[in-house]
């Protein structure tokens, strides 16, 4: 990696005996181009001194949350924002339990809640602790939320047992971190639409839909984590701005189209996750409509299809659409891929027990001209990371093919 591609990695050290191996891990990560800052739990400081990690990382090591001097330098919130990645190695059973429960009773667990950086864990514990249903349930929760789990390995343990629970070797962890951190989209500018649109009937009423915008926002963050410069054009949502270059807020489909058309010529990739209203009221009353009549007929007119317009440009960006289908997913998705002239389409089944609007999880099947990939039911955060990597892979593939 060159200097521009250096990834900022926050390394959390838990109180497991393998904490001593994490000294070497810092070196291995730095060799691979990471800028590493270390945070230790109290238990970890009883096993290895903070000074050791300071010497190998080249940065002061934080150990407590309520440290006035350290907070005056880089506060824990700044540290949480600074990180591109949060890696916890060793991740003890206790740490995993606190992370799964969302407890923030020390600096490391507070940072885990405060950061938007993807979480990677290298578990290390006695084999019985690892196999315990409580640990396995916590593992499941963390995975579902998008955490990446590295290991553990099987073999001789410090306590004399033999079995699963050994932390992976530093070199294995550092290598495992590399593929996900290669900035596959560095230099790419990505335009995304997200959320619903609101189509006004009068100054106080509108037509809209149930889209929460969560999938689009998660995807914007995930694409940003791969190094892309992301511009998000969003309809009204209750979500906080993800860590991206620019957020443009709009209300109606026509506003969304105008914002997209202004931005699109400078973009390499366009991803349409927005649930754009297909129709808008033919007229929007200047004043609040009064309930004078027994019956009110609304005349609706078609909204422009933003995605189709972008794909139809003379030199379109790499274009990714979404399709929500209640039946015959593959046929409908492929028909839209062809009809709109897209590079990729991510389709999800709606109306059943599976994920979709207003839910935290979702499943997608992604189609392109001569291929497909099934992304099974998982949290929207994890799904977004997987989809972002697939977009990067297909985009880079097309790029390589055309150069």
Nearest to 109, CA basis, from 88, 89, 130 = 88
In sequence order, the β-bridge partners of residue 194 are: 234
Nearest-approach distance from CB 273 to ligand CTP, in angstroms: 6
Neighbour count for residue 137 (Cβ, 10 Å): 13
Stretch that binds ligand CTP, among 18-26, 48-56, 131-139, 321-329 (CB under 6 A): 321-329
Q: Which of residues 271-290 bind ligand CTP (CB under 6 A)?
A: 272-274, 276, 278
Among 305, 344, 364, 389, binds ligand CTP (CB under 6 A): 305
Nearest-approach distance from CB 195 to ligand CTP, in angstroms: 10
Through-space distance between the first and last CA atoms of the chain, rounded to whole angstroms = 22
User: E strand or H helix at 127, and its extent?
Assistant: helix 127-131
Q: Is the preceding peptide bond at 90 cis, omega within 30 degrees of 0?
A: yes
Nearest-approach distance from CB 226 to ligand CTP, in angstroms: 20
Stretch that binds ligand CTP, among 138-146, 167-175, 289-297, 322-330 (CB under 6 A): 322-330
Nearest-approach distance from CB 157 to ligand CTP, in angstroms: 50
| Interatomic CA distance for residues 129 and 157, integer angstroms | 12
Residues 100, 142 contacting (CB under 8 angstroms): yes
Stretch that binds ligand CTP, among 37-45, 266-274, 282-290, 392-400 (CB under 6 A): 266-274
Among 9, 139, 306, 378, binds ligand CTP (CB under 6 A): 306
Task: Give the DSSP letter string of 213-281.
Answer: SHHHHHHHHHHHHTT-EEEEEE-S-SPPPPSSSEEEE--SHHHHHHHHHHHGGG-SEEEE--B--SEEE
Does residue number 330 form part of the binding site for ligand CTP (CB under 6 A)? no
Residues 49, 19 contacting (CB under 8 angstroms): no
Among 61, 80, 108, 323, binds ligand CTP (CB under 6 A): 323
Does residue number 321 form part of the binding site for ligand CTP (CB under 6 A)? yes
Angle ∠(296,302,304) on CA atoms, nearest 5: 145
Does residue number 324 form part of the binding site for ligand CTP (CB under 6 A)? yes
* Catalytic annotation, pick one of 101, 159, 298, 300: 159
Nearest-approach distance from CB 230 to ligand CTP, in angstroms: 16
Q: Which is nearer to ligand CTP, 288 or 302 (CB)?
A: 302
| Interatomic CA distance for residues 33 and 181, integer angstroms | 10
Task: Give the DSSP letter string of 314-331.
Answer: SS--EEEEEEEESS-HHH
Nearest-approach distance from CB 229 to ligand CTP, in angstroms: 21
Residues 374, 208 contacting (CB under 8 angstroms): no
Q: Which is nearer to ligand CTP, 120 or 215 (CB)?
A: 215
In sequence order, the β-bridge partners of residue 233 are: 193, 248
In terms of residues, how long is the chain? 403
Nearest-approach distance from CB 371 to ligand CTP, in angstroms: 19
Among 25, 48, 93, 253, binds ligand CTP (CB under 6 A): 253
| Interatomic CA distance for residues 123 and 163, integer angstroms | 13
Nearest-approach distance from CB 109 to ligand CTP, in angstroms: 37
Whether 159 is catalytic is yes
Q: Which is nearer to ligand CTP, 25 or 345 (CB)?
A: 345
Stretch that binds ligand CTP, among 78-86, 150-158, 206-214, 316-324 (CB under 6 A): 316-324
Stretch that binds ligand CTP, among 40-48, 52-60, 199-207, 270-278 (CB under 6 A): 270-278
Does residue number 57 form part of the binding site for ligand CTP (CB under 6 A)? no
Does residue number 322 form part of the binding site for ligand CTP (CB under 6 A)? yes
Q: Which is nearer to ligand CTP, 276 or 378 (CB)?
A: 276
| Interatomic CA distance for residues 221 and 227, integer angstroms | 10
In the shown chain, the binding pattern of residues 204 to 243 toward ligand CTP, with x for contact by CB under 6 A and - for none, equals: ----------------------------------------
Size of the site for ligand CTP (CB under 6 A): 16
Distances from the Cα of 297 to the Cαs of 66, 201, 287, 294, in angstroms? 62, 12, 17, 10
Helix 93-101 to helix 107-114 angle (10° resolution) is 40
Ramachandran class of 102: left when φ > 0, alpha when ψ lies in -120 to 50, beta otherwise: left
Catalytic residues: 159
Q: What residue ranges bind ligand CTP (CB under 6 A)?
A: 193, 253, 272-274, 276, 278, 303, 305-307, 321-324, 336
């Amino acid at each position: 990696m060159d200097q521009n591609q250096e990834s900022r990695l926050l390394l959390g050290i838990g109180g497991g005996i393998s904490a001593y191996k994490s000294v070497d891990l810092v070196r291995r990560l730095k060799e691979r181009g990471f800028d590493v800052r270390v945070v230790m739990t109290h238990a970890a400081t009883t096993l290895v001194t903070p000074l050791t990690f300071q010497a190998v990382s080249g940065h002061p090591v934080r150990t407590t949350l309520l440290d006035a001097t350290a907070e005056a330098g880089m506060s824990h919130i700044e540290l949480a924002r600074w990180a591109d990645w949060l890696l916890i190695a060793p991740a003890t059973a206790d740490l995993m339990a606190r992370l799964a429960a969302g407890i923030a009773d020390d600096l490391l667990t507070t940072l885990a809640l405060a950061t938007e950086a993807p979480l990677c864990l290298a578990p290390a514990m006695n084999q019985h602790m690892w196999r315990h249903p409580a640990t396995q349930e916590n593992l499941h929760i963390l995975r579902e939320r998008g955490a990446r789990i590295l290991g553990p390995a099987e073999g001789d343990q410090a306590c004399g047992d033999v079995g699963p629970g050994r932390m992976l070797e530093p070199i294995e962890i550092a290598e495992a971190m590399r593929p996900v951190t290669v900035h596959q989209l560095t230099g790419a500018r990505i335009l995304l639409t997200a959320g619903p649109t609101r189509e006004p009937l009068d100054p106080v009423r509108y037509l809209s839909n149930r889209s929460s915008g969560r999938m689009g926002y998660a995807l914007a963050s995930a694409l940003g984590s791969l190094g892309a410069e992301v511009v998000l054009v969003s309809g009204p949502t209750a979500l906080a701005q993800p860590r991206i270059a620019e957020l443009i807020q709009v209300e109606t489909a026509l506003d969304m189209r105008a914002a997209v058309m202004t931005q699109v010529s400078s973009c390499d990739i366009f991803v349409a996750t927005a649930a754009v209203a297909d129709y808008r009221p033919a007229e929007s009353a200047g004043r609040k409509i009064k309930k004078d009549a027994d019956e009110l007929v609304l005349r609706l007119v078609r909204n422009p299809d933003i995605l189709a317009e972008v794909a139809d440009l003379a030199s379109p960006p790499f274009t990714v659409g979404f399709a929500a289908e209640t039946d015959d997913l593959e046929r409908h998705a492929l028909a839209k891929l062809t009809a709109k002239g897209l590079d990729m389409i991510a389709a999800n089944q709606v109306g059943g027990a599976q994920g979709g609007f207003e839910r935290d999880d979702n499943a997608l099947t992604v189609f392109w001209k001569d291929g497909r990939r099934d992304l099974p039911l998982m949290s929207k955060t994890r799904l977004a990371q997987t989809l972002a990597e697939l977009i990067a892979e297909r985009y880079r593939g097309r790029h390589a093919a055309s150069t």
